[in-house]
Structure 1
């Protein structure tokens, strides 16, 4: 049997053998891959392994070509977990959430949902469904709490920007769209007993006194990046692909203050 396949099988066995105290490392033909496995290696294969004395120093190296979903999971772990780093994660209580105000047909369905659509909903409240990015999903599932505020951001439109303030009124629960084969967000691998996608409910609170466009926010971001201002690490530009983005209180307060200022005097 090829040693790499054998090693992978042994590693699965390792996770079920809590008495193991030693670990070996397999050096495969791929220089980017190391496979760790337990001290249950047959004598005949010992020339394939190198013993390491300190188990705590052993780690699994990934191949460089990690797909976006896996990389997103790794990035999320760095933000929300203290298991490996021992550092206290940031606790976010403000959010910016993107939605498309203009009609766009995807798989025969119009994905349009702007602030006017939210206002037209019963009690001006709606579920925020269809979030497929795992980091965005984790923010909704793990960090969003009832009473927290969010900016309603119009994306994928002629003039993108922040239109309104909303409130989180229901914490995370399974996103129903993942179970519907007719829905564009259907996920065949999702099961009701182990859902993959989650959503929250949001309620319209008020429109901003003026629309704050992306171009204005970008100018401020570039200015603050050089000067160390409150928007120097704004996720809208540092994690632009996320549809659900965390904001610090300093970022929230600064952006909210812009509605009372003229665009050219807001820096």
Structure 2
């Protein structure tokens, strides 16, 4: 049976909560606290170990892609949903029927320079309907096509 093709993702984090520097320091981290069904479904049903991840800083002075990571685990229930002291507690979720799932994300490398949201917007035509650039997109986990992944990586070596 053929191995499924590597997929690509963009995962957003606020740098004052958890940054690419934090991921570099710890090596791998559970991507907990996602409370969007669509983003959850990406992690639960589509992500596979080894998939590529753009690490995106949102709510930053310069929002953009700051590093690369990989999906480092198979999906498992997000433990924060069961912790009544957590901001992500979900009283309707049970251990027998968890509502929220996550994957671990492993550090790969920081980019030599950030690729800002404005720069990504300036390449909208080449990025062919990149989900991040759609109006109203607020998801913290987004799919990235192989062509978009390759194009964005070429931007790292260009002057902004």
| Common fold: TM-score over 0.5 | yes
Q: Which protein shows a greater Rg?
A: 1
Greater per-residue helix proportion: 1
1:132 aligns to 2:29 (yes or no):
no
Q: Give the aligned length.
A: 155
**Structure-to-structure mapping, 1:132-211, within 5 angstroms:** 132-211=35-114
Give 2:117's aligned residue: 214
**CA separation in 1, counterparts of 2:79 and 2:59?**
24
Q: Which has the higher contact order (CA 8 A, sep 6+)?
A: 2
Query: What RMSD, in angstroms, separates the aligned Cα atoms of the two structures?
Result: 1.3
Aligned 8 A contact 1:92 1:247 in 2: no
Aligned 8 A contact 1:235 1:247 in 2: yes
SS where residue 162 of structure 1 aligns? strand
Off by >3 Å, runs of 4+ in structure 1: none
**CA separation in 1, counterparts of 2:82 and 2:38?**
20
Aligned 8 A contact 2:83 2:89 in 1: yes
- Per-residue CA deviation, residues 142-168 of structure 1 (Å, 9 max, x unaligned), is 000001110000001111000001011
Give 1:253's aligned residue: 150
Aligned 8 A contact 1:133 1:242 in 2: yes
Aligned 8 A contact 2:128 2:148 in 1: no
SS where residue 103 of structure 2 aligns? strand
**CA separation in 1, counterparts of 2:90 and 2:151?**
39
Aligned 8 A contact 1:169 1:201 in 2: yes
Q: 1:235 aligns with which of 126, 131, 134?
A: 131
- In structure 1, the gaps of 5 or more residues are 1-90, 103-111
Give the alignment's TM-score, normalised by structure 1. Answer: 0.57
